[in-house]
Amino acid sequence: MSGSVNWVEGSYEVIAKKLFNETDYETYYLEFDDLDRYGGFEPLRFLPRGKNVVLGLISTKKPELEDPQTIKAGIQMAAKVIADAQGVSYREALDCLGVSPQCGFSSSSLAGGKGMTEDIMWEKLELVKQVADEPPRPDRQQMQHRPTWIWRRYRSRDNRKGRHPVVISPHHATNHGVSHPRATGTFKASLRGIWRMVVRYPVFDVSYDVAIIFTLGSVVWVINGFFAWLPVQWPFTEFAGEVGTGTGITAFIGATIFEIGSVLLMLEAVNEKRTDCFGWALEEALEGYHLLLRPDPEGCAHHHSVRHGLLTTEEPGDGKEGRTWEWWPTWYELKTHYLREIGFLASLSQFIGASVFWISGFTALPSINSRLSTPASNGVYWLPQVVGGTGFIISSWLFMLETQPSWFTPAPKVLGWHIGFWNLVGAFGFTVCGALGFANRNNAAAYGSDLSTFIGSWAFLIGSVIQWYESLEKYPVDFR
Confidence of residue 313 (pLDDT cuts 50, 70, 90): very low
**pLDDT at position 361 over 50:** yes
Sequence ranges of the domains in the chain: 13-144, 197-270+328-479
pLDDT score recorded for residue 111? 44
Residues 433 and 385: beta-carbon distance below 8 Å: yes
Class for domain 13-144, per CATH? alpha beta
The whole-number average pLDDT for the span 312-320 is 43
**pLDDT at position 317 over 80:** no
Q: 197-270+328-479 adopts what CATH topology?
A: 1.25.40
**pLDDT at position 304 over 50:** no
How does pLDDT run across 374-386, given as a tens digit for each residue? 999 999 999 999 9
**pLDDT at position 340 over 70:** yes
SS in 3 state form for the chain?
A: CCCCCCCCCCCCHHHHHHHHHHCCCCEEEEECCCHHHHCCCHHHHHCCCCCEEEEEEECCCCCCCCCHHHHHHHHHHHHHHHHHHHCCCHHHHHCCEEEEECCCCCCHHHHCHHHCCHHHHHHHHHHHHHHHHCCCCCCHHHHHCCCCCEEECCCHHHHHCCCCCEEECHHHHHHCCCCCCCCCCCHHHHHHHHHHHHHCCCCCCHHHHHHHHHHHHHHHHHHHHHHHHHHHHCHHHCCCCHHHHHHHHHHHHHHHHHHHHHHHHHHHHCCCCCHHHHHHHHHHHHHHCCCCCCCCCCCCCCHHHCCCCCCCCCCCCCCHHHCCCCCCCCHHHHHHCHHHCHHHHHHHHHHHHHHHHHHHHHHCCHHHHCCCCHHHHHHHHHHHHHHHHHHHHHHHHHHHHHHCCECCECCCCCHHHHHHHHHHHHHHHHHHHHHHHCCCCCHHHHHHHHHHHHHHHHHHHHHHHHHHHHHHCCCCEEEC
Lowest mean pLDDT among 47-56, 215-224, 254-263: 47-56
pLDDT score recorded for residue 318? 41
How does pLDDT run across 231-251, given as a tens digit for each residue? 999 999 999 999 889 999 999
Report the predicted TM-score, pTM, of the whole model to 2 decimal places: 0.67
Lowest mean pLDDT among 52-66, 80-94, 138-152: 138-152
**pLDDT at position 38 over 50:** yes
**pLDDT at position 476 over 70:** yes
Confidence of residue 176 (pLDDT cuts 50, 70, 90): low
How does pLDDT run across 445-454, given as a tens digit for each residue? 999 999 999 9
Confidence of residue 146 (pLDDT cuts 50, 70, 90): low
The average confidence (pLDDT) of the chain is 83
pLDDT score recorded for residue 303? 40
How does pLDDT run across 404-423, given as a tens digit for each residue? 999 899 999 999 999 999 99
